[in-house]
């Protein structure tokens, strides 16, 4: 399956279980792997035969910078739902939502959730 990749998109949201997360907010990074057939668009050179990366970014931004949620898992699932609702050509997606600076004691680079969803999961 062909893929469109959008990596390390950065947003600012107010998600989390702790009061300081919903009050102060924090950065979220999103990686999106969109699976679809790109054969037609590569031959036609027409955006109508593909998925507009700018629109993908805006869909993800609306979710991440939108209504606060408790779990990163919920954010990932909502992104998948919106992507399938918006882009008919999308067959499957893999999404990784990263919190680089969660309020957890310890030494680590980040915490993240990754999900894989297929169109048939959404029917």
For position 116, what pLDDT does the model report? 98
pLDDT for res 121: 61
Q: How high is the pLDDT of residue 108?
A: 83
99 is catalytic: yes
pLDDT band at 122 (very low <50, low <70, confident <90, very high): low
Instruction: Choose the catalytic residue: 3, 39, 99, 119.
Output: 99
- pLDDT confidence of residue 47: 93
**Residue 73 pLDDT level (bands cut at 50, 70, 90):** very high
pLDDT of amino acid 30: 98
Degrees, nearest 5: CA angle 22-82-68: 10
Q: Into which CATH architecture does domain 2-122 fall?
A: 2-Layer Sandwich (3.30)
The CA distance from 14 to 25, in Å, is: 4
Domain regions of the chain by residue span = 2-122
pLDDT tens-place string over residues 16-66: 898 888 899 999 999 999 999 999 999 999 999 999 999 999 999 999 999
């Amino acid at each position: 399956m062909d893929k469109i990749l959008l990596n390390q998109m950065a947003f600012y949201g107010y998600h989390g279980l702790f009061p300081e997360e919903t009050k102060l907010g924090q950065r979220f990074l999103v990686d999106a792997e969109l699976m679809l057939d790109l054969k037609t668009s590569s031959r036609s050179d027409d955006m109508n035969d593909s998925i507009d990366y700018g629109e993908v970014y805006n869909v993800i931004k609306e979710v991440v910078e939108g209504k606060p949620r408790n779990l990163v898992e919920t954010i990932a699932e909502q992104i998948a739902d919106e992507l399938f609702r918006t882009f008919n050509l999308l067959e499957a997606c893999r999404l990784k939502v990263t919190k680089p600076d969660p309020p957890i004691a310890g030494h680590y680079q980040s915490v993240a959730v990754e999900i894989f969803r297929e169109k048939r999961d959404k029917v």
